[in-house]
Amino acid sequence: MNGIHDLGGMDNFGIINREENEPVFHDDWERQIFALTIAAFPAGYCNVDEMRRTTECIEPAVYLRAKYYQKWLLTLESIVLEKNILTQEELDSGRSIRTEGGNLLPAVPDEMIQYAMSNPVSARVEKEIEAKFQTGDKILAKNLNPLHHTRIPRFIRGKRGEIIQDHGVFLLADTNAHGGQDKPQHVYSVKFTARELWGEEAAAKDTVCIDLHDDYMEHLPN
């Protein structure tokens, strides 16, 4: 969707103040939200695309003011309400009230959490699917403006690029974010020149690489 979360290519948001020796977590509640969110994935409550889709639905004024882990908290609260894992009353009170009902799943074993925290978990799909594009192909990023989650950023839509790498097969985020039918397809690294994106005043040698699904592109004549 087109929302305030899609900040790529935008400017005039002020200076980014870099914190020297920044800790991983500033407060204990951030540590807790990180742990709860990571546990939600292997427990089967949601996937990463659903989390991103839900984050995009945060009210824009709230999104811009919220700190990083505040966004995680708001997203997780929306997910557990949407999936009927908790009720609003339970969230407000901070304790479980229902004695039955709700889409509760078994707790994640400790060893599974330890594995998820200590090992990279690939989202690649091990499935043989023919690639629509090859390295060196010239492409046009489609001008898509769906009212749902998508991974094609606004600032490259309708722009010309070149395929520089095939990353393999992954689920299309647009459908996976909404519980739709799996749509595995290739994802590529696509290079765009700065001048293609921002005009002739941009640096001639600068480029931007974006990872894009098959469905986000169409061929241009070489």
Q: What is the CATH number of the domain that holds 82?
A: 1.10.472.20
Please state, in angstroms and rounded to a whole number, the distance separating the CA atoms of residues 147 and 60: 15
Whether 80 and 147 map to the same domain: the answer is no
Please check whether residue 18 lies inside any domain of the structure.
Answer: no
User: For residue 142, what are its two tokens?
Assistant: 């489609």
Q: What percent of the chain has pLDDT over 70?
A: 99
Kindly state the average pLDDT of the residues 190-206.
97
Which residues is 139 bridged to in the sheet? 161, 219
Whether 56 and 89 map to the same domain: the answer is yes
Looking up residue 182, the CATH number of its domain turns out to be: 2.30.30.50
Please state, in angstroms and rounded to a whole number, the distance separating the CA atoms of residues 6 and 45: 25
Please check whether residue 105 lies inside any domain of the structure.
Answer: yes
Q: What is the residue range of 105's domain?
A: 28-118
Kindly state the average pLDDT of the residues 129-155.
95
**Mean pLDDT, the chain, as a whole number?**
91
Please check whether residue 187 lies inside any domain of the structure.
Answer: yes
pLDDT for the residue numbered 198: 95
Whether 107 and 164 map to the same domain: the answer is no
Please check whether residue 15 lies inside any domain of the structure.
Answer: no
pTM, 2 dp? 0.84
Please check whether residue 126 lies inside any domain of the structure.
Answer: no
Phi then psi dihedrals of residue 210, to 5 deg: -125, 135
